[in-house]
Amino acid sequence: MKYITKYKSPNYNSRGKSKIKLIIIHYTALRSAKEAITYLCTKERKVSAHYLISQNGLIYNLVNEKFRAWHAGQSFWQDIVDVNSFSIGIELDYNPNAKNNKFSSKMISSLKKLILKLKNKYKINKKNILAHSDIAPFRKKDPGKYFPWKLLENEKIISNFQNITKNDTKIIEDWFYKYNIISKKRIIIFALSLIGYDTRQVYKNLKYYNMLITAYKSRYVTKLTYVNQETVYNNIIKHLFKNLLTKN
């Protein structure tokens, strides 16, 4: 795989002793790859990513993987609050409100190759290939509900939990009941926290709860505008069950 290395971002620092465990996928919300390069390589912007993938599938390496790029901002995943130190950030040249509003097949094909390469190199778990909206659900929407997660699922780059049955999920539900976690909302919150999401403020704050559910749906449920709580609930239980079974 060939990278374009002629543009470098000054926006990075040391990872310290942190090991690379996560891959975070973003979109730039800018109008072109050219604009994104300028943005991500300008010192005053104080942001960067290790990689940027253009609409025609070119992969720009802006920050060396061994350094800590600045793409995640205030984030949380499985008790990691300094996501930048533990992750590789990949930006996609995409803007939902501009001409580059498609996840082109060339872009996605390059992304798949890049993820597979990083996954093997750093032994990254399938469960740790994440959306920016997964790690910052109260601030971020990218890569958005049109990002083709299904294509990554089909090629087993990320896990798929659609084949989990009702019997399987009953094991999880019985376990929650045993610990007296009975209301659907409490089960949803607890399951999401076991999966890795930041649930620290959602139980008492309905606005944050709804934002978390929206972030979850945008990635895992459907493209329908209305999805009832039952569907979300069933999906989350399946997800948790699969997560407990998936080693890598």
Contacts of 122 (CB under 8 A, 6+ apart): 19, 20, 21, 88
CA distance 30 to 25: 15
Residue number, 142 or 198, with CB nearest to Zn ion: 142
By the rule CB under 5 A, 132 interacts with Zn ion: yes
CB of 25 to Zn ion, least distance (A): 8
Question: Residue 26, interface with Zn ion (CB under 5 A)?
Answer: yes
Q: What are phi and psi of 229, to 5 degrees?
A: -60, -35
Residues with a catalytic annotation lie at 91
Nearer to Zn ion, 133 or 169 (CB): 133
The sign one gets for the Cα dihedral 241, 244, 245, 248 is positive
User: 183: exposed, middle or buried (C-beta count within 10 Å: 0-12, 13-18, 19+)?
Assistant: exposed
142 binds Zn ion (CB under 5 A): yes
Please state the closest distance from residue 177 (CB atom) to Zn ion, in A.
38
Fill in the per-residue mask, 67 to 96: x = in contact with Zn ion (CB under 5 A), - = not in contact. ------------------------------
User: How many residues bind to Zn ion according to rule CB under 5 A?
Assistant: 3
Give the nearest residue (CB) to Zn ion. 26
For Zn ion, give the closer residue by CB, 26 or 127: 26
The partner residues of 69 in beta bridges, in order of sequence, read 12
**Quick one: CA dihedral 101, 103, 106, 111, positive or negative?**
positive
Binding site for Zn ion (CB under 5 A): 26, 132, 142
